[in-house]
Structure 1
């Protein structure tokens, strides 16, 4: 029986790369696992953190209950404030690099901390304030340049749809545990919460 090619990412990967021998099976499996972890773990934790943040700040939650939806800038502000890649990228300079009035010498160690950069007052006026209409908002939650996350458009869409649907359908949603008891993942490479206890009541 001839198998029909699946018209999805992994199906195309198998047909276009594995079948012709450009990529072996182990490489394809490794890529599939990477896509699952990078595409699920990050988004799941960003959604949970965003829900916790909005429940602690109900004036901002109202933005996601609007009939016409939140502004396109809202999700990016949450991404900036709640940067889940919080451990920094450790790198070694291979050449002298002048940046911000300082020269990083070849061989120097560098930690590129996106969470700190996302609160740089020179780039973001009132960096600790929440401005869901902030523009421009050139945060580094998805990286930058050739290292920009390939799923950033999908991630934004998932966050926008999930948060709007949740807060519209459950307007009485609330945290079921004090904030101090939330199990934040401070030592995990992906910041978030292990679980988020919520409760709600019927309205209307």
Structure 2
């Protein structure tokens, strides 16, 4: 069972990559170099000037007050710490549970997994440098397929190849649509983190 460091240790000013803050946020948000090298140090700087964290949820809230100060590339790298929707390998315990990888292998039809793989590739062609992130919240992979299709403006289908990736035009990197997707993904990462807390029975 996944366990978080004790709340009291989170308030310790530990610079190591295995500090309680780093371990906690890596579990709740998925590890990335941006999280460990940029976000965690910024939170540590706040420790002498604020009351101790009274809850893990408060730590998440402060984390998402720090993230807006990151530059655009760092924000994109931050969300890329999360696995792609539908991935079944090399997942953290919490991601595996959310993605349904802990269920029987027959729980998701192979055509749905293939469609998700294609939609991820299509999304990443349309939004260069971004990864599709969504708060699954117990929904099936088939439901996420329809959500991704709607986001991309595709008809609902289970084709593993339609539309062709080559037929898609990318949006402008750092343009309005691209930035909107980046910010939406960051918000959903926050929702995922809060849901993970609830799943662990802590707050």
TM-score by length of 2: 0.30
Q: Name the structure where strand makes up a greater proportion of residues.
A: 1
Larger radius of gyration: 1
Q: Name the structure where helix makes up a greater proportion of residues.
A: 2
